[in-house]
Chains A and B, each alone.
Chain A
Amino acid sequence: MFAIKSVLTISRREITRLRTRFTGRSSVVVLGILVICLVISYIIYHEAFVLSKGLYTVGVSPSGPVIADERFNVLTADPETGRTMLQNKTIDIYIDRDEAICTGDQRSQSAAGALKQYLEKQEVQRIASEYNTSQAFPLRVEINHLEGPASSPDMETHVSLSDILGLSETSTTTPPTPEPSGIPGDDLPTPSPQPGTSSTDAAVRQQLDDFESGNMLPKFKAEFVSDKEIIIPSLMNPPIPLAQVIMAFLYVVPILFVSVFFTSSFMEERTGRKLIILLSAPVTPLQIILGKILPYIGYSLIVIIAITLLLKGNVLLALAIFIPVMLFIMSIYLMVALTYRTFRDQTFFSVLAVGVITAYLVGPAMFTGVNDLSYISPLTLAVQMYRGESFGLTQYLLSTAPMYLIFLLALFVGRRIFNEEYLTRFRPLYAKFAEAVYLVINRNHLYISVFFLTLLLIPVVFMVQLSSIVIAFSLPFPFALGAMLMMSVIVEETAKSAGIAVLLNNNIGKSLKSILALSFVSALGFLLGEKLLLYLALFVITESMFTTAIFSTGLLVVPLIMHFICTSMVCLMTARFGTKWYPAAIIAGSVIHALYNLYIIGVIL
């Protein structure tokens, strides 16, 4: 009871502090700017945002088409001048009647591509207005689903193909009769003088409206995609869930702002030594952290609920999806606030954190429905929610469990390192990290600590590896692959040996026996964490190839030996030559690890 009370007291204090920050004139200024921001984004949203304004210059003959696209500057010129202009590069493309002339350079080629896309769209709109729907859009494709070979065989009771095709009553041995449509008795294939109607006309008109409004941005309603979707080939858009991803990201932006306030406040009190004063009061570090974070969690919850109501989504579902996201963001900012001393450091690491968080959340969500790996981001769940699709508990766990875990981990680490010396002493970054690791390890239970340290570092390793893939991607291909492999191996080796190296640096566990034992425990923790993550992923990703690869016994014992060898090597080298050589030891361990990986992939031997 007392514990909760002190948490609440600290929270109340935090709220007052924040309120007194923005009073009087400054609150007016800030509110004014916020209102301006909202107005601007509203206007831009309704103006149909164009990024490449005036990028190309196109010459059009007097008889050519009208081009009303902000990407193009349009000049009228007769064919002869047009060709000269094209040669002088004063225009990128020249269009005369149905023919477009461009040069071979990249700019001209992409201008041609962009123009083609634009004119094709114009044509579809023209025929839509000039002809009736059946003439202009004569082909409609109804999408149906049936369990394929990948599904389990005990689904025999389900619908058959002839059910779907509406042929169950007719004989299936003869070529099927024309598909019955809208008006009974209207199934004669000869064109009638009256325009024909079809049951799919409504779907065509609906899609035509969407197409003409050109609005691929969010419709602020949960879009429901029914099972029987009708596709019109020329109106078909790639199923990029951009609109829904933007909707999902709308939640993340305010949460990021709220957490920046949290870090700032934490930092201010740290530099102002107010946190140290708090520590001398009868409260525990955990109570202080929880008390200070609670108001910001509250604000975020309000934001989540408000946005969901605004977008007419399901509040409970949105809370279930975005609470872990919020906790994840908060825990990253808690770590930023606890680790850095100077404002500039903090500013930059906040920006970096924003970048990484955005990448981790948005990237996978763009592939919702295309690749099941997209479930590593909870935004994928939000995208599905706003598409009116459902997802299962395993998907929910895969995307959110790491986030809950990271929050708990951050709280635990925060509690351990929350002492006067750590918070006030200025030291280089790596020393700060080492000190944090040292404080986290319980010296009475060395082995268990190291085991759990490595195990709990798995989500961090996972995220760093994902980011390194992104960074390596911009290198030329063979380098990219090598760099990616090396980076991920270095991250793994560092994660496994960090705890032990810190112990060695503090003169703990220096005997050969204990180094080997610690390395084994660490390797075991890493392997367990790694497999646990994969196991969770397997629930979602049904490809059987993975299953056999992971659970074949050889691949459980061999990696353990490999992890053990690499880690013990790194640690023994560190013990022998001193922590100064720790980076070199990691490189050495990583080389062996990388060679093993190459062998497994089948590149060498």
Chain B
Amino acid sequence: MSGFLTLLKRELKSVTKEKTIMVAIIIQFFVASFSSVLLIGIMSFYDPESIGHSTQVRVDVGVVGNTDSPLLGFLKGKNLRVVSFYDVDDAEEAFRSGRVDTVVFIPESNNGVVDIKLVLPELDAMQTVILMLLQEPLERYENYLREINGVELRYKDLGGGPHTTYEFLYSLIIPILMLFPAFIAGSIVVDAIAEEFENKTFDTLQSAPVSVNGVFASKVLAAVIISALQCIMWAVLLRLNSLFIQNVGFVLLLSVIVAAFISIGAAIIALYFKDRERAQFTYSIVLVAAAGLSYFVDPSPFSLITRLATGDYYTSGYEVALYAIPLLIVGILCFTMSKKLLSTKS
């Protein structure tokens, strides 16, 4: 036992000494911030509501044609101003001189169909903003026309808050933060084992008072401990940002189980190939394949974390406990195969 502890300490030390863990944290931090920048960026550029809320953009809409159209009423809003023109040339002049940003031509209704023509400036950025701001009034006008046509539309006035950010945070960011340390743990195990092969230090270790399995177990355990620490750190950091993870204990337990599963799998791969180049490559594609396969499991580790973290009433520790079974299987597999894998040439 003391031999095992010494080995474990050795492994932990080698990881911390190389400041690997710092890099690992930087990577995760980068991934998390990058995705939120992208999300918020996309939201503010592409979501008409946040364009209206977050910017002081005002669009002047020139209207030509049927200026009695009810569309004019819908168009008046916080970010829109309507200017009616009786003459197309006047509208063109106003558009070219920049007094209006866009021109809308409204014809008379033809069999209940209205074919509007919208004139946009050729500058790309402005185009998107104008279209986004016009979407809501146009939809309301569309529903108005539908009513005239005798089409009844239900669920027009359902309430509800923004959901994209919530879904994004709990079904993408938090699972990624909780599972990424596990991916890294697997990579650490591959490196640690391949290193022993390449430095030919396995023979020395075999003469130590620990079994071969003890050597692997110490490497796996060291990697799992490191990944658990990272998960705890993320939970604390998220809480500081007042983003709360419900069932925090179960979420952490699940991420430890996944980390252990991946690390043991990585150990088997490294034992099979015995050199870093092939083992790392195989590990990464196996990881991709396994992540893909897990999509077909219900609940997948990913969605289980989501449900636990959002405090889903119907999810509990039972599902987490189920995940201990595959871990046990792969553990036993590694335990019984290690000697054989070690002695085979690859």
Contact = CB atoms under 8 A, between A and B. Distances in A.
Interface of A: 21-22, 25-26, 29-30, 33-34, 36-37, 40-41, 44, 49, 51-55, 57, 65, 71, 73, 89-90, 98, 100, 102, 106-107, 109-117, 119-120, 122-123, 127, 131, 134-151, 160-162, 164-165, 167, 172-173, 175-176, 178-179, 181, 186-187, 189, 191-192, 195-200, 231-234, 236, 238-240, 257, 260-261, 264-265, 268, 271, 342-345, 347-349, 351-352, 355-356, 358-359, 362-363, 366-367, 369-372, 467, 469-471, 473-474, 542
B33 interface: yes
Residue of A122, A138, A164 with most chain B CB atoms under a 10 A cut-off: A138
A176 B107 contact: yes
13 contacts: A21-B277, A30-B281, A52-B167, A110-B167, A127-B151, A148-B98, A164-B117, A165-B105, A173-B86, A176-B64, A189-B109, A344-B191, A347-B187
Contact of A53 (B36, B115, B278, B298): B298
A178 B111 CA distance: 11
B119 A138 contact: no
B299 interface: yes
A372 B128 CA distance: 12
B338 interface: no
B151 to A, nearest CB: 5
B199 to A, nearest CB: 9
Majority SS at the chain B contact face: helix
B132 A238 contact: yes
Contact of B119 (A44, A144, A151): A144
Interface residues of B, number: 127
B139 A234 contact: yes
Contact of B161 (A90, A109, A238): A109
Contacts of A343: 191, 194-195, 276
Interface stretch (B211-219, B252-260, B285-293, B324-332): B285-293
Contacts of A142: 115-118
B160 A366 contact: no
A579 B31 CA distance: 34
A144 B285 contact: no
Given A53-B303, A349-B23, A119 B155 contact: yes
B307 to A, nearest CB: 6
Interface in B168-190: 170-172, 184, 187-188
A55 B277 contact: no
Contacts of A143: 118, 120
Contacts of A73: 314
Contact of A146 (B121, B145, B198, B241): B121
Given A139-B145, A165-B117, A112 B160 contact: yes
A492 B185 CA distance: 35
A55 B282 contact: no
A110 B155 contact: no
Given A116-B158, A238-B47, A131 B166 contact: no
Interface string B10-45: 000011001010011011011111101110111001
Given A106-B166, A173-B87, A51 B285 contact: no
B132 A473 contact: no
Contacts of B124: 369-372
Contact of B151 (A98, A135, A151, A236): A135
Contacts of B89: 161-162, 172
A135 B112 contact: yes
A178 B30 contact: no
B301 to A, nearest CB: 12
B289 A33 contact: yes
B198 to A, nearest CB: 7
B148 to A, nearest CB: 8
Given A144-B120, A172-B87, A37 B292 contact: yes
Interface string B267-297: 0000011011110111001101100110100
A123 B153 contact: yes
B167 A114 contact: yes
A366 B37 CA distance: 11
